[in-house]
């Protein structure tokens, strides 16, 4: 099996992890990111822990773990860029308000827009990845930077 292909090969005799078949474990690996919306550190730590536990036991788990980690790191990079842009918007709003006396809240609009634009793929991509993993295929998240190959 090559890890470059999008098809996961599972052997009938492959060991189960926590009583789950590799496809189910991969699905849980993708869905574990959604814990970020309830307990923020868990949505980052849990996928890393699951990948670390299963990466040596199954090549598909290693492949899906890398896909998820690439997305988490990419999302962090996009959020960092978004925060810098939003802070620039807030500072420019303050400057406009001080110099003209007009209240301008464009910086806060940036914060809301960035949170919205990053929040949608942060929900949709893991769900699509989980569905594909359950079917036995690997799905690279769009917009994901490949740090791990």
Please give the residue range of the domain that contains residue 35: 22-135
| DSSP β-bridge partners for residue 17 | 20
Could you tell me if residue 10 is inside a domain? no
Return the pLDDT at 121: 93
Number of domains forming the structure of the chain:
1
Could you tell me if residue 1 is inside a domain? no
Could you tell me if residue 6 is inside a domain? no
Could you tell me if residue 15 is inside a domain? no
Q: Is 66 helix (H, G, I), strand (E, B) or coil?
A: helix
Nearest to 40 by CA among 87, 85, 88, 76: 76
- In this structure, what token pair is assigned to residue 34? 């959604």
Contact 51, 29 (CB under 8 A): yes
Contact 45, 37 (CB under 8 A): no
Could you tell me if residue 17 is inside a domain? no
Could you tell me if residue 88 is inside a domain? yes
Could you tell me if residue 91 is inside a domain? yes
H-helix or E-strand spanning residue 30: helix 22-31
Render each residue's pLDDT in the chain as its tens digit; 149 residues. Answer: 344 444 444 445 566 788 888 899 999 999 999 998 888 888 899 999 999 998 888 899 999 999 999 999 999 999 898 888 888 878 887 887 788 877 777 767 777 888 888 889 999 999 999 999 999 999 999 999 999 88
Could you tell me if residue 142 is inside a domain? no
| DSSP β-bridge partners for residue 20 | 17
DSSP assignment letter at 95: H
Return the pLDDT at 84: 87
- In this structure, what token pair is assigned to residue 125? 């991509």
Query: Which region, left, alpha or beta, applies to residue 9 given φ > 0 means left and ψ of -120 to 50 means alpha?
Result: beta
Q: Is 147 helix (H, G, I), strand (E, B) or coil?
A: coil
CA 24 from chain centre, in angstroms, equals 18
Return the pLDDT at 13: 54
Query: Tokens 């910086």, residue?
Result: 107
Q: How far apart are CA 67 and CA 49, in angstroms?
A: 14
């Amino acid at each position: 099996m090559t890890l470059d292909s999008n098809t996961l090969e599972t052997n009938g005799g492959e060991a189960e992890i926590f009583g789950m078949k590799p496809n189910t474990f991969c699905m849980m690996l993708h869905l574990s990111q959604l814990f970020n919306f309830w307990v923020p550190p868990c949505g980052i730590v849990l996928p890393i822990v699951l990948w670390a536990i299963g990466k040596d036991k199954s090549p598909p788990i290693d492949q899906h773990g890398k896909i998820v980690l690439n997305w988490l790191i990419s999302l962090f990079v996009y959020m960092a860029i978004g925060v810098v842009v939003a802070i620039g918007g807030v500072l420019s709003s303050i400057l406009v308000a001080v110099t003209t006396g007009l209240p301008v809240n464009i910086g806060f609009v940036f914060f809301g827009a960035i949170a919205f634009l990053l929040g949608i793929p942060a929900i949709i991509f893991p769900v699509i990845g989980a569905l594909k993993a359950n079917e036995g295929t690997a799905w690279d998240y769009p917009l994901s930077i490949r740090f791990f190959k």
